[in-house]
Every structure is written in structure tokens, then in C-alpha cells.
Structure 1
Amino acid sequence: MKFWRNLAVAVLGLSVLAGCTNNPYTGESEASKAGIYGGVGAVAGALVGAATSSKKDRGKGALIGAAVGGAAGGGYGYYADTQEAKLRQTLQGTGVQVQRNGNDLKLIMPGNITFASNSADISSSFYPTLNSLVLVFKEFDKNGVDIVGYTDSTGSTELNNNLSNRRAQSVSSYLSANGVAASRLSAYGAGSSQPIASNTTEAGRAQNRRVEINLRPL
């Protein structure tokens, strides 16, 4: 009982330390998602360390495991925190949405800023945003970049599948041509199968005519 009580105190301390970070873009102290990942890693590491050590060395093994697991878990969490902050700063006012789900980041780019209806040609006004993404993707190069194209419901399923694929390929080709490693990129079309707004209005169709970029750990 004493061993596990001491272990809990040690893990809690590691989690607090992992969670107290400074946002590199605002300078503010904050409890980041890295603290969550670090805490989870610390718990997992402590359990593994304790389980794989002799009874005599169980406490030492648990503390070592907690430290290693916390560092590993918090490491990518902090990386994702800083990348998210940079993307939100860079894309402010562009119309691109930034969403976070655990370790994954998603960028949602609606059709009113990306492509005209029934077109896979990148709108001229979208190039500055893509150029900003190129800079961020080069700075943060530990992600895979999955590009998915979508359409509204106008037209046949075959037409929409083909069009959404060409839209995704257009974005991928532009990123690759401007220095984002092709090995990090994947692109495919999902057609009109996953609308995020009503297809009964022009505004809704413009939202559905979108490209999403999913950033995941390599």
C-alpha cells in the first residue's frame, strides 16, 4: 500500500510538471494537452516499470518508468500544441478552420476560398493561404499530411468522386511543388458522401465543396 501511495504522488508530480508550459506564441503559462499526454505516459511507464522489476527494486523501476513514459507522452503532445498554435496564428482570418482531436489536427478549407463549382483549379485567392501552409508544414515536419477532397451533391456520384479526387490532388501537387516532402503526402477524394452543411442552399454547397487536411504523427 505504501509503495502504491508513493507511486501515485510521484506520478502526480510528473503530470503537473508536464502540464505547466509556456505557449511559445503568446508567452502565457498554460496547462497544455502535453500535460495530459505526459500524465498518461507517466502512469503507463510506472506500471510497466513496476511490473518488470523485482519486488526489491519495484519502487525504483516504477519511478524510472514514469519519467520515461511521461517524457515520451508529453513530447509529441507539446509538439502538437505548438503546431496548433502556429496554425491558428497563421490562418487567422483566412476562413480555414483548425480542429484538434487528441494527437491529430484537421484543417477544413471551404469551397468559397478553394475551388469554384465543378472545378479542380485552385482559386487564385487561395494561393496565399497555401503558401502559409507550406511554411508551417516545413517547420513542423513530423506529420503525415492526408488531403481529402469533397464536393456538394450537384452531379452524379461518378462525377463527384472524380472531381473531389482531382481537387485533393491539386492541393497535394501544389504543396509538393513548393517543398513539402512528397513522402509525407497522401490525397484522395470522398465525393459528396460526407456533407457538413445542407446541399439545398448555395452557402451550404460551398461549405461541402471543401478540402480537409489531416495532420497525424508519422
Structure 2
Amino acid sequence: MKQSKTLIAGAACLALLAGCTTNPYTGEQEAGKAGVYGGIGAVTGAVIGAATSSKKDRTKGALIGAAVGGAAGGGYGYYVDTQEAKLRQTLVGTGVQVQRNGDNLKLIMPGNITFASNSSDISSGFYQTLNSLVLVFKEFDKNGVAIVGYTDSTGSQQLNQNLSNQRAQSVASYLVANGVPSSRISSYGAGPSNPIASNDTADGRALNRRVEINLTPLPGAQ
């Protein structure tokens, strides 16, 4: 019995180490949400694996249980960890911000790189960034892609609403035309609502003129 407890404890320690996952894009050890869940799953799997194995195979059973439990426990959290790292790597130097909130990711694309003033035609310099996003969205296909257009407060409410709608639709249409399934994509304009800076300055208005892409789990993905 003492030996069995020692074997289970050893496997559990290995399982906890397994919970600190290595991100394949950064090479760094991660002990975030996915790591914690993976560690818990691995410990549980180790205990069950050892308990349900014969005495001779108890160590092997514990290690197998740890591996299986860790992978299952990491789940969607690890998926988002990996996607976030790929996006940050892909978007370095583009001016696009990547924000993380739990299992949701947000890409903030300021107006100075997306559209000319009062236009819904995608700026020529923005196509390369969008092409990079297309590749990531195809690789990571468990997210819905919600595109939201925003404007500053200059001009009428109706003008801004229409412009923000058209800009969001322009991005959505480009993604679909390049192979991202339309079933994953939604788009709408929010006009001047939800400003992220003051509309009293030119710099603030430039920040408010933006497109955001929200990546959220598709039904059944978590």
C-alpha cells in the first residue's frame, strides 16, 4: 500500500509539471488557465489510472492516466493560449492590438491602418495584415469572428452609423472571399459608440476610428 501511494504521488507530481504547458509558438512554459486545468486533469488521471491498474502495472497506469487527463483538462483554454501566441507573433509591427479576456480574444485595428478618412475601401497597406489573419483564422477554426466597425463623433449619427457598417462589412467580405467560412463571421457597425479615447483631440478621434474583431468560442468548442 505504501509503495502504491508513493507511485501515485510521483505520477501526480509529473502530472502537475505537465500542467505547465509549452507554447509551440513561443517555446515558453505557460501555467495559465489551460496549465492549471491541464494539471488538475493530469493529477486526476494519474490517480484513476493507478487505482484501476493491476499492482504490477500501477506506475504505467498512473503515467498514462496523467497524460490523458492533462490533455483533456487543458481543453479550449490551451487552444486559445496557442491562438493568442500565434496572433501576437503574426501581428508584430502591424499596429494591431491583441487583447485577451478569458477565452475571448479581441483584435483592435486603428483607423490609420485600415481605411482612409470617410471611406469604407480597405487601405492598400492593410491587405497584408488581413491576409495574415486569414491564415490564422483558417488554422484556428473553433472561433466565431465578430467584426465591429467604429467611428469618431465627427459628423451626423446616421453618417457614422452607415460608415461603420460599411467598414465592418468590407472586412467581413474580404475574409469570406479569401476562404474564411461565412458561417463563422458576423459584422455590424457601432458608429461613435464605445469610444476608447477622447473625441476632443485629433489623436483621440484617430483611435476611435477603428475596426475590432472579436474571437469567441463557437457552440460546442469549449
Smaller-chain TM-score range?
0.7 to 0.9
User: For residue 175 of structure 1, what is the amino acid of its counterpart?
Assistant: L
User: For residue 31 of structure 1, what is the amino acid of its counterpart?
Assistant: A
Q: 1:132 — aligned with what? A: 132
User: For residue 181 of structure 1, what is the amino acid of its counterpart?
Assistant: P
- Tell me the matched-pair count: 198
- SS of the residue corresponding to residue 186 of structure 2 reads strand
- SS of the residue corresponding to residue 133 of structure 2 reads helix
Q: 1:205 — aligned with what? A: 205
The TM-score normalised by the length of structure 2 is 0.77
Q: 2:144 — aligned with what? A: 144
- SS of the residue corresponding to residue 99 of structure 1 reads strand
Q: 1:170 — aligned with what? A: 170
Q: 1:98 — aligned with what? A: 98
- SS of the residue corresponding to residue 169 of structure 1 reads helix
Q: 1:37: Cα distance to partner? A: 3.9
Please give the per-residue CA displacement for 1:48-67, whole angstroms capped at 9, x wherever unaligned. Answer: xxxxxxxxxxx98xxxxx99
Q: 1:116 — aligned with what? A: 116
Cα RMSD for the two superposed structures: 3.0
Please give the per-residue CA displacement for 1:87-120, whole angstroms capped at 9, x wherever unaligned. Answer: 0000000000000111011000000001122111
C-alpha separation between the residues in 1 aligned to 2:200 and 2:146? 29
Mark the CA change 1:201 to 1:121 in structure 2 (over 3 Å): closer, same or farther.
same
The TM-score normalised by the length of structure 1 is 0.78
User: For residue 17 of structure 1, what is the amino acid of its counterpart?
Assistant: A
Q: 1:38: Cα distance to partner? A: 3.6
Paired residues for 1:40-119 under 5 Å: 71-119=71-119
The structure having more radius of gyration, on CA atoms, is: 2
Q: 1:41: Cα distance to partner? A: 7.0
C-alpha separation between the residues in 2 aligned to 1:24 and 1:188? 34
Q: Give the gaps of 5 or more residues in structure 2.
A: 1-8, 46-50, 53-65
- Give percent identity, aligned residues only: 77
